Structure 1
Amino acid sequence: MPYTRIETRRGWIGERRQDVIEAVQRALCTGLLIPETDRCVFLTEYDADALIAPPGRGPSYMVIAVTLFSGRSLEAKRRLYRALVDELAPFGVPATDVKTVLVEAPREDWGFRGLPGSEVELGFKVEV
């Protein structure tokens, strides 16, 4: 049940906003082994003067912040990082323009339908 935010400069995506969101969703499924129906991805674009990026990064520089349940293995995280770079490459995004930040929280710190996440049957395994 990750909550994912993509933040980048305005302009380079153009009419491909939904395609970029879907690419990140596919990477989440590949990396974290979540079902395709587990979808919560937001894209925010900023004017060029509303952010600064590290030197040498291009106009497609982005930060992808994924808040997720604790418990994923280092291998799952590696799969996710690789899948994000692979899925974004067709948009002309070099690997150096992709920064990923994972924020892990225990299941009881999430609420769904009025219950703690630790009491909700997810239908998939978190410890992958």
Structure 2
Amino acid sequence: MPSTRIETRRGWLGDRRRDFVEAVQAALVEGILIPEQDRCVRLLEFDEDAIITSPHAGLRYTVIEISLFTGRSIDAKRRLYAAMTRKLAPFGLEPHEIKLILHEVPRENWGLRGLPASEIELGFRVDV
């Protein structure tokens, strides 16, 4: 049940924004084995003057921050990093243009349907 925020510069995606968001979702499904219908991915685009990056980062530099339940193995995280790089390559992103940050949250610190997530049957495993 991750919550994913994508941040990048405005304009370079053009009319491929939805496809880009779907590619990120596909990488989440492949990498950390969430159900396809578990979707919470947001794309935020910023004007050129609202982002500072290192000179080698490139104009397509993209930061993807994923808040997710604590418990994924390092192998699952490796799968996610590799899947994200592969799924975003068709958009012209090189591996050095993608920064992926995971924020692990204990289930009791995530509220769903008025309850802590630790008290809800999620329908999928977190310890993958």
TM interval, short-chain normalised: over 0.9
Whether 1:86 aligns to 2:86 is yes
* Paired AA for residue 39 in structure 2: R
**Number of matched pairs:** 128
How many Å apart are 1:54 and its aligned residue? Answer: 1.8
* Stretches of structure 2 lacking an aligned partner (at least 5 in a row): none
After TM superposition, what 4+ stretches of structure 1 lie above 3 angstroms from structure 2? none
Instruction: State the alpha-carbon separation in 1 of the partners of residues 67 and 33 from structure 2.
Output: 15
Equivalent residue number for residue 27 of structure 1: 27
**Corresponding residue number in structure 2 for 1:111:** 111
Residue identity in the other structure for 1:15:
D
**2:51 corresponds to 1:51:** yes
Indicate the residue corresponding to 2:121 in structure 1: 121
CA offset at residue 72 of structure 1? Answer: 0.3
Aligned-CA RMSD value: 0.5
State the TM-score, normalizing by the size of structure 2.
0.99
SS in 2 for 1:36: coil
- Distance in structure 2 (CA, Å) of the matches to 1:60 and 1:84: 15
Task: Give 1:108 shift.
Answer: 0.4
- Following superposition, the deviation at residue 34 of structure 1 comes to 0.2
1:104 is matched by which residue type in structure 2? E
| Structure 1: gaps (5+ residues) | none
Q: Which amino acid aligns with 2:5?
A: R
Q: CA deviation at 1:53?
A: 1.0
Q: Deviations over 1:19-59 (max 9, x none)?
A: 00000000000110000000000000000000111221111
Instruction: State the partner residue of 1:4.
Output: 4
Q: Give distance in 1, aligned partners of 2:112 and 2:62.
A: 29
Q: Identity of counterpart residues, as a percentage? A: 61
